[in-house]
């Protein structure tokens, strides 16, 4: 695959990894947070941690909207789907996410709710068009990457004069979360343990590299925006190691083949036309963050399921033993949570970080748990 295969070249990776090992000072530590679940996935999937020297540590950030979606919103969606007139359309990622009583959309579907998995926002509009007697609600979640496609769906529904289509909006904003990680109350209390950020890939195609300027100017944290392929991640790590070594804190753009300084203006304009920031939105593991979520503007409220169906979100507390907040701020490793792998596994997640395969704890469990004691895979070679 062009623009994919080139960035999965194992031989090149060895070269970059060697450069990282050569340049990373063994006397200091490099705690680098990859914000995005896509990066977390690439790191886990390709075993990149084994290529990095011990002083370079990757901290898996909150960049998985499925993980950070509060349980109360899942509960609300499940309640909504229970209404006989409603067809709830959702991305596959949300189907298994547990609500507060061990409920999930998958279970609600089994119990008879009309819940359909869609791959594109346009599919949800298509269903509303084909089935005019159904109230079709699209469970909209995601970062800045995913909000423009939601906006496109609303535009299409408006153009087609559909009155049976609406969205349950849970779109969130990444800069607000990065800010909370470096400057939130807990961060101030424990001190921030992060030396630099691997910046979002596809979020940045929309919002542009300049959107992270505050990391450098306000917080003196270097950022390297990176693509989701494994070589992209390694190259960004090398860029961050160099910034730290040289005492720089700049916004560098490794993913320059797809990310510009200003991002996708057309997408931004469309989103701004329809959505406005909420005063605050709850993030699982991080708490309520100011100006971190979107809702539809009043002019578009006819497409807003929250007003149409009077959806109430009842806050459900996170498990007291869950260390997600500390994991996300780089204060704790997943294995240091006492519930990790015992009560909390991907099959029965307790905290946000275990919910989707891109969560910090889930990635560690599903791909990396062999690294805790005993046998190392590196010792085993398949004989030719």
| Closest CA relative to residue 39, chosen from 74, 5, 7 | 7
Instruction: Please classify residue 364 by burial: count the beta carbons closer than 10 Å to its beta carbon, then call 0-12 exposed, 13-18 middle and 19+ buried.
Output: buried
CB of 226 to ligand SF4, least distance (A): 24
Sole binder of another protein in the list 78, 128, 181, 201 (CB under 8 A): 201
In angstroms, the CA 199 to CA 307 distance is: 35
Sole binder of another protein in the list 24, 33, 44, 182 (CB under 8 A): 44
Of residues 336 through 365, those in contact with ligand SF4 by CB under 6 A are 337, 339-340, 344, 350-351, 353-354, 361
Query: Dihedral of CA 96/98/99/102: which sign?
Result: positive
- End-to-end Cα spacing for the chain: 28
DSSP conformational letter for 330: T
Sole binder of another protein in the list 110, 183, 256, 261 (CB under 8 A): 256
- What residues pair up with 256 in beta bridges, in sequence order? none
| Closer Cβ to ligand SF4, 39 or 60, answer by number | 60
Of residues 258 through 277, those in contact with another protein by CB under 8 A are 258-259, 264, 266-267, 270
Does residue 230 belong to the site contacting another protein (CB under 8 A)?
Answer: yes
Does residue 206 belong to the site contacting another protein (CB under 8 A)?
Answer: yes
Residue with tokens 């679940």: 37
Distances (CA, A) of 39 to 44, 169, 230, 231, 261: 9, 25, 8, 11, 21
Does residue 342 belong to the site contacting another protein (CB under 8 A)?
Answer: no
Does residue 334 belong to the site contacting ligand SF4 (CB under 6 A)?
Answer: yes
Q: Of these partners, ligand SF4, another protein, none, which one is at the site of residue 344 (CB under 5 to 8 Å by kind)? A: ligand SF4
Say if CB 232 and CB 200 are below 8 A apart: no
In angstroms, the CA 207 to CA 260 distance is: 9
Sole binder of ligand SF4 in the list 327, 330, 358, 367 (CB under 6 A): 327
| Closer Cβ to ligand SF4, 122 or 343, answer by number | 343
Does residue 113 belong to the site contacting ligand SF4 (CB under 6 A)?
Answer: no
What does the binding site for ligand SF4 look like in residue numbers (CB under 6 A)?
Answer: 322-324, 327, 334, 337, 339-340, 344, 350-351, 353-354, 361
């Amino acid at each position: 695959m062009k623009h994919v295969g080139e960035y999965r070249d194992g031989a090149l990776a060895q070269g970059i990894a060697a450069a990282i090992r050569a340049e990373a000072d063994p006397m200091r530590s490099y705690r680098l947070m990859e914000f995005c679940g896509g990066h977390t996935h690439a790191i886990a999937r390709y075993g990149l941690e084994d290529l990095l020297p011990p002083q370079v540590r990757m901290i898996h950030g909150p960049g998985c909207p499925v993980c950070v979606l509060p349980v109360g919103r899942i509960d609300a969606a499940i309640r909504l789907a229970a209404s006989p007139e409603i067809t709830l359309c959702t991305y596959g990622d949300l189907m298994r996410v547990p609500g507060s009583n061990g409920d999930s959309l998958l279970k609600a579907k089994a119990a008879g709710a009309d819940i359909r998995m869609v791959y594109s926002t346009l599919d949800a509009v298509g269903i509303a068009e084909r089935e005019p007697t159904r109230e079709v609600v699209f469970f909209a979640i995601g970062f800045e990457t995913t909000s423009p496609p939601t906006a496109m769906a609303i535009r299409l529904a408006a153009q087609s004069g559909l009155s049976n289509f609406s969205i349950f909006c849970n779109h969130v904003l990444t800069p607000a979360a990065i800010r909370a990680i470096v400057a939130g109350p807990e961060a101030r209390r424990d001190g921030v343990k992060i030396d630099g950020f691997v910046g979002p890939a596809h979020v940045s195609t929309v919002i542009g590299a300049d959107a992270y300027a505050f990391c450098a100017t306000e917080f003196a944290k270097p950022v390297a925006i990176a693509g989701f392929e494994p070589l992209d991640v390694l190259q960004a790590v090398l860029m961050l190691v160099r910034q730290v070594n040289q005492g720089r804190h700049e916004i560098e753009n490794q993913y320059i083949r797809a990310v510009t300084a200003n991002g996708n203006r057309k997408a931004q304009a469309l989103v701004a036309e329809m959505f406005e920031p909420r005063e605050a939105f709850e993030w699982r593991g991080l708490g309520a963050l100011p100006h971190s979520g979107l809702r539809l503007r009043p002019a578009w409220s006819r497409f807003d399921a929250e007003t149409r169906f009077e959806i109430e979100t009842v806050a459900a507390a996170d498990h007291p033993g869950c260390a997600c907040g500390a994991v996300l701020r780089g204060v704790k490793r997943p294995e240091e949570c006492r519930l990790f792998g015992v009560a909390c596994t991907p099959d029965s997640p307790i905290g946000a970080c275990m919910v989707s395969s891109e969560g910090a704890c889930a990635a560690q469990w599903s791909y990396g748990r062999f690294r805790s004691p005993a046998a190392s895979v590196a010792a085993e070679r398949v004989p030719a």
